[in-house]
């Protein structure tokens, strides 16, 4: 069954910080529908702990934030994207505050905001709401969205594929257009199984990251790279997919999955130790625990492998009990529930997949290589992060680029639709599946071999092996996809396979080590690879 909905102005896919920011700007100029595949609050944004980086303190400067971002990015940041983000960032943070976001103030000077410091930052510049920054940002933005009549949030609605002029032309065996344009999307109502065709003036991907491609991740289950995969299938250019950021300190505990131990703890003096107490980061980098994330994650990985350990430890025992509770209330409470008192005990930690630096290649206004298809937030590759993202730069990037995307679109004249009604979704002979175990099995398989073969340290042989496995999985998913009626899990599995393939393809092309991409076969940077890895799906 396929329902065809009225045309709307802006179709936003995702209700994290990027999607909601865009919606709040664009709704003054047209009707906005925000799709979100679970509850509206469920997003990577919600789990952000450390905060949002911005030049805020009088002793900080734009030049220093730019420099720190460029250093972390290991030669691959686009300087103009960095400058735009850092310069416009403080205004976006002021607007967040005006929307109602309450950031933590200093307890000694309550008129001032408390600023955290994280790895790679030469200054304290991270505004935060205790250690629950994401929850506060989501709360404030949600209240603001609910006030707007022209924003409609449709929960449990999952975008499946983007409709473009090229896709329409192929379907009707007409000549393909010279410049492709986005026209809308097919959307699955996860609760009813119905697929709807929604046409819109512009489609904005704000679908977040893809941490679920890996067995261990800090990301919630929504992070299956749907936007990456939809853009790829639509033929958009994708960039730098090999640069997957592993956060060094995810809690290692048998009862808990995906709980982050914020880098802000290291910013407040946390030390990484081996079981015998040795502070090993000093053996790897002069900046020790505050070196950029790629260096810290790789050092932990090396120690785990060298000594056959399950985890290393974060030592916060220099804090008094009351300090731990005041500075990190959420993390402290969660750890205490598990019987870990950070003021007395070491915290067991391991690295886990955390953030996709690569994504849909966009210009400085968030537009992809397909006209009227925008990508904002983690799904985008704006050039800000280069080969490695500086901590707490992503919430900032999402606000800055969602703002620029909205400004660009509202100033753009509406373009005549290629056709007013999109064709219905063709479900063919699909029937309900009675073998959902196949989806679960393939899903686990992909995540496991991505972790083992395409993780923190790579080799060409392991990447090739992953590529061969992916081909087998792809064939199975392909058959399954067209034989059975769509479910959310099946759509996500197909997306996961596409994202995994993009990561492996890009990693094989980069025959050097740079930033987050480290391969034993080419262990040093090579200036011949000092450019983005740009890929596009050949139809």
Catalytic residues: 293
Question: Strands 32-36 and 151-155: what pairing?
Answer: parallel
Is 392 one of the binding residues for ligand SIN (CB under 6 A)? yes
Min dist. Cβ of residue 229 to ligand FAD (A) = 9
Is 218 one of the binding residues for ligand FAD (CB under 6 A)? yes
Is 243 one of the binding residues for ligand FAD (CB under 6 A)? no
Is 69 one of the binding residues for ligand SIN (CB under 6 A)? no
CA distance linking residue 376 with residue 26, whole number of Å:
14
- 47 touches, from ligand FAD, ligand SIN, none (C-beta below 5 to 8 Å by class): ligand FAD
CA distances from 357 to 34, 41, 397 (A): 24, 23, 12
Is 162 one of the binding residues for ligand SIN (CB under 6 A)? no
By CB under 6 A, name the one of 50, 90, 208, 359 that touches ligand SIN: 50
Is 466 one of the binding residues for ligand FAD (CB under 6 A)? no
- Find all residues with CB under 8 Å of 349, minimum gap 6, and list them: 248, 249, 250, 251, 252, 261, 272, 300, 311, 312, 313, 314
Min dist. Cβ of residue 404 to ligand FAD (A) = 14
By CB under 6 A, name the one of 36, 49, 207, 368 that touches ligand SIN: 49
Looking at 385-513, list the stretches that DSSP marks H as alpha helix, in order from N- to C-terminal side.
Answer: 394-411, 437-453, 460-483, 488-509
Min dist. Cβ of residue 528 to ligand FAD (A) = 31
Q: What six digits make up the tokens of 113? A: 């905001």
Residues of span 86-105 touching ligand FAD by CB under 6 A: none
Q: What six digits make up the tokens of 7? A: 């045309």
From 33-41, 138-146, 258-266, 417-425, give the range in contact with ligand SIN by CB under 6 A: 258-266
Is 222 one of the binding residues for ligand FAD (CB under 6 A)? yes
- Determine how many CB atoms are found less than 10 A away from the CB of residue 33: 22
Is 496 one of the binding residues for ligand FAD (CB under 6 A)? no
From 22-30, 86-94, 261-269, 448-456, give the range in contact with ligand SIN by CB under 6 A: 261-269
* Cβ 491 vs Cβ 227: under 8 Å: no
CA distance linking residue 361 with residue 470, whole number of Å:
24
Helix (H), strand (E) counts: the chain: 14, 19
- 69 touches, from ligand FAD, ligand SIN, none (C-beta below 5 to 8 Å by class): none
18 versus 361: smaller Cβ distance to ligand FAD: 18
Min dist. Cβ of residue 43 to ligand FAD (A) = 3
- Determine how many CB atoms are found less than 10 A away from the CB of residue 111: 6
By CB under 6 A, name the one of 3, 29, 38, 485 that touches ligand FAD: 38
- Determine how many CB atoms are found less than 10 A away from the CB of residue 366: 29
51 versus 235: smaller Cβ distance to ligand SIN: 51
∠ at Cα 367 (10, 410), nearest 5°?
A: 45
Min dist. Cβ of residue 244 to ligand SIN (A) = 13
CA distance linking residue 295 with residue 285, whole number of Å:
8
Residues of span 161-190 touching ligand FAD by CB under 6 A: none
CA distance linking residue 465 with residue 458, whole number of Å:
11
Where on the chain is the footprint of ligand SIN (CB under 6 A)? 49-50, 262-264, 391-392, 394
Where on the chain is the footprint of ligand FAD (CB under 6 A)? 13-19, 35-38, 42-45, 47-52, 133-134, 158-159, 206-209, 218-219, 222, 226, 260, 355, 377-378, 392-395, 398
């Amino acid at each position: 069954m396929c329902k065809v909905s009225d045309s709307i102005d802006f179709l936003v896919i995702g209700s994290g910080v990027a999607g909601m920011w865009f919606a709040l700007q664009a709704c003054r100029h047209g009707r906005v529908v925000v799709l979100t595949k679970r509850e509206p609050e469920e997003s990577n944004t919600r789990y952000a702990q450390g905060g949002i980086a911005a030049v805020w303190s009088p002793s900080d400067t734009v030049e220093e934030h730019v420099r720190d971002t460029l250093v972390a990015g290991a030669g691959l940041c686009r300087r103009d994207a960095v400058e735009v983000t850092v310069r416009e960032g403080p205004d976006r943070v002021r607007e967040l505050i005006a929307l109602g976001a309450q950031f933590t103030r200093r307890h000694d000077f309550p008129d001032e905001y408390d600023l955290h410091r994280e790895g790679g930052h030469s200054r304290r510049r991270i505004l935060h709401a205790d250690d629950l920054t994401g929850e506060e940002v989501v709360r404030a933005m949600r209240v603001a969205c609910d006030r707007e009549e022209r924003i409609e949030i449709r929960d449990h609605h999952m975008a499946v594929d983007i409709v473009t002029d090229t896709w329409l032309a192929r379907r009707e065996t007409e000549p393909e257009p010279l410049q492709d344009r986005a026209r809308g999307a097919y959307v699955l109502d996860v609760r009813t199984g119905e697929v709807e065709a929604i046409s819109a003036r512009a489609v904005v991907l704000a679908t977040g990251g893809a941490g679920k491609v890996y067995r261990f991740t800090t990301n919630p289950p929504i992070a299956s790279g749907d936007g990456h995969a939809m853009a790829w299938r639509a033929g958009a250019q994708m960039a730098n997919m090999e640069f997957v950021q592993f956060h060094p300190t995810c809690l290692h505990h048998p009862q808990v999955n995906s709980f982050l131990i914020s880098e802000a703890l290291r910013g407040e003096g946390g030390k990484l130790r081996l079981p015998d107490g040795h502070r090993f980061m000093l053996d790897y980098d002069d900046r020790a625990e505050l070196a950029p994330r790629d260096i810290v994650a790789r050092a932990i990985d090396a120690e785990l492998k060298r000594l056959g350990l399950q985890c290393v430890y974060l030592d916060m025992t220099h804090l008094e009990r009351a300090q731990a509770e005041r500075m990190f209330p959420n993390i402290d409470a969660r750890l205490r529930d598990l019987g870990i008192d950070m003021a007395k005990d070491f915290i067991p930690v391991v690295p886990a997949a955390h953030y996709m630096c690569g994504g849909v290649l966009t210009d400085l206004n968030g537009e992809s290589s397909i006209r009227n298809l925008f990508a904002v937030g983690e799904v985008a590759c704006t050039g800000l992060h280069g080969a490695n993202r500086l901590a707490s730069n992503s919430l900032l990037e999402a606000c800055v680029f969602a703002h620029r995307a909205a400004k660009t679109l509202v100033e753009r004249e509406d373009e005549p639709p290629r056709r007013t009604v999109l064709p219905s979704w063709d479900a063919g002979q699909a029937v309900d599946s009675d073998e959902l175990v196949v989806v679960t099995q393939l899903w686990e398989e992909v995540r496991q071999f991505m972790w083992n073969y395409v993780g923190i340290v790579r080799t060409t042989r392991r990447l090739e092996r992953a590529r061969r496995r992916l081909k087998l999985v792809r064939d199975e998913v392909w058959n399954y996809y067209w034989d059975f009626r769509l479910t959310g899990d099946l759509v996500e599995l197909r997306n996961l396979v596409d994202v995994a393939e993009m990561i492996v393809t890009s990693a094989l092309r980069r025959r050097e080590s740079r930033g987050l991409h480290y391969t034993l076969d080419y262990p040093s940077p090579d200036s011949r690879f000092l450019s983005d890895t740009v890929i596009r799906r050949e139809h």
